[in-house]
Copies of this chain bind each other. A is one copy, B any other.
Amino acid sequence: MSKDKIIAAAIHVFSEHGYHRASMDEIALSAQVAKGTLYYHFPGKAQLFKTIVMDGFQEISDRIRSVMESDLTLEEQIQRIITHNLDLFLESRGFAHIVFNELSNGIEQDVLEELKGLKEGYIDFLAGVLEEGCKDGVLRSINCRLAAAGIVGLLDSSCNYYISHPDALNRDDLEQFLYTIITTGLFKINV
């Protein structure tokens, strides 16, 4: 169906060029539909983008929620969350990056608000996981939302490095590194 082709093409083109440099022309070309078809299925560029982002958030939220509902230990939960996040970020690299980092400015205000809301919602969601750990006395007493926000940046940035230096490390190394730094930091001995 056209709509699916458009979505697939849009993910690809947005990822490739970022939001602003992605053109509706190129998306249409890539989806092998006429330009007008984009506007038949979506009101505009910003809304097309939003649709894709929301789908992505939905998916990762679903995956992570299943982790939460299991009776894994916190350590295992964190491990799984890192894995799922990495899946998302690596699968549709570029796209996740746009959502979490590129969109500070220059998009229709209302859509931007919604996207910020989604982002915040996701951070709250992660913060909730951390909060549990605090209550259980497993985690240090920290500002959980700040920690969640920081971790997302850490993940994004690490993925970027991993992708642009494919020979320097493999996926398992990356996952291991993230788990280590998040849980126990860089120092060998901690007091």
Known A-B contacts A20-B106, A105-B17, A169-B143; A181 and B185 likewise in contact (beta carbons under 8 Å): yes
A184 interfacial by beta-carbon distance below 8 Å: yes
State which of A44-52, A65-73, A80-88, A148-156 sits at the interface with chain B: A148-156
Q: Is B185's CB under 8 angstroms from A184's CB?
A: yes
Q: Is B105's CB under 8 angstroms from A16's CB?
A: yes
Q: Is A145's CB under 8 angstroms from B161's CB?
A: yes
Q: Is A180's CB under 8 angstroms from B140's CB?
A: yes
Query: Which interface residue of A130, A155, A190 has the most chain B CB atoms within 10 A?
Result: A190
A24 to B55, CA, bound (A): 32
Interface residue count for A (Cβ, 8 Å)? 57
Residues of B within 8 A of A139 (CB): 186-188
CB distance from A135 to the nearest CB of B (A): 12
A104 to B102, CA, bound (A): 9
Residues of B within 8 A of A180 (CB): 140, 142, 185
A18 interfacial by beta-carbon distance below 8 Å: yes
Query: Which interface residue of A149, A155, A181 has the most chain B CB atoms within 10 A?
Result: A181
Known A-B contacts A152-B157, A154-B153; A140 and B21 likewise in contact (beta carbons under 8 Å): no
Q: Is A169's CB under 8 angstroms from B146's CB?
A: yes
Q: Which residues of A contact B (CB under 8 A)?
A: 16-18, 20-21, 94, 97, 100-102, 104-106, 123, 130, 133, 137-140, 142-143, 145-147, 149-158, 160-162, 165, 168-169, 173-174, 177-178, 180-191
